[in-house]
Amino acid sequence: MNKRISMEEAVNLVKDGDTIMVGGFLAVGTPEALIDALVAKGVKDLTLICNDTGFPEKGVGKMVMAKQFKKIIASHVGTNRETGRQMNEGETEVVLVPQGTLAEQIRAAGFGLGGVLTPTGMGTEVEKGKQIVEVQGKQYLLEEPLRADVAIIYATKADEKGNLSYHGSTRNFNTLMAAAADKTIVLADKVVPVGAIDPDTVIVPAVFINYIVDGGANG
């Protein structure tokens, strides 16, 4: 199966009303060219699952500025004032999740778990409306899996099958999100033949990748 698609084909896989995951941490490791293409397309009423909302001029913050989200699930939004404004004005629903919990909820979805038990948030606003489970005399919150219709992730390098490698911290949430969506699209800085990536440096195996966009060809 040829997984390589064009930028236009990639953004057409995202439909109005979809839930999308976008990799990145303060826009480091975010598939910027795909974000730009989604802004240009004008897709709307999306639910975003992301570590943060980047900056107004960088990362998913560009989509926030274009008001393309109806709901945002993130660990923090402090670097993008527009997200805070939309939240305070009731224009966009924002759900803040402790960062570690967010990562584990995504991991749970990717690996078929029914959720994760965590003490984080017990006795706070985070606890409201959630199931409490007692294990060996200690109480935990049950945090349910987070899954998306489409995951849009980044890689430094991909081979033709979709094996991915990363430089430094760009891997961040990309590696978890690759497994937690019905369709996963990767924007790679470079696409190489199968075998060109040392197996010991493969961070995400090809089985999780549905589509590859060559950032060098499309960027």
Q: Indicate which CATH number applies to the domain containing 150.
A: 3.40.1080.10
In a domain, 65, yes or no: yes
Q: What is the pLDDT of residues 9-54, one digit of tens each?
A: 999 999 999 999 999 999 999 999 999 999 999 999 999 999 999 9
In a domain, 149, yes or no: yes
Q: How far apart (Å, rounded) are the C-alpha atoms in residues 12 and 181?
A: 16
In a domain, 1, yes or no: no
In a domain, 2, yes or no: no
Q: How far apart (Å, rounded) are the C-alpha atoms in residues 160 and 10?
A: 16
Torsion of CA 167, 171, 172, 174, to 10 degrees: 160
Reduce the DSSP state of residue 89 to 3 states and report it: coil
Residue 219 binned pLDDT confidence (cut-offs 50, 70, 90) = very low
Note the pTM of the prediction, 2 decimals: 0.94
CA atoms within a 13 Å half-sphere pointing along the CA-CB vector of 142 = 11
Q: What is the pLDDT of residues 99-116, one digit of tens each?
A: 999 999 999 999 999 999
Q: Is the pLDDT of residue 139 over 60?
A: yes
Q: What is the pLDDT of residues 149-203, one digit of tens each?
A: 999 999 999 999 999 999 999 999 999 999 999 999 999 999 999 999 999 999 9
Query: Chain-centre distance of CA 10, in angstroms?
Result: 15
Q: What is the pLDDT of residues 46-62, one digit of tens each?
A: 999 999 999 999 999 99
The 10 Å Cβ neighbour count of residue 128 is 7
- Length of the chain, please? 219
In a domain, 84, yes or no: yes
> Which structural domain range is residue 65 located in?
7-218
Number of domains in the chain: 1
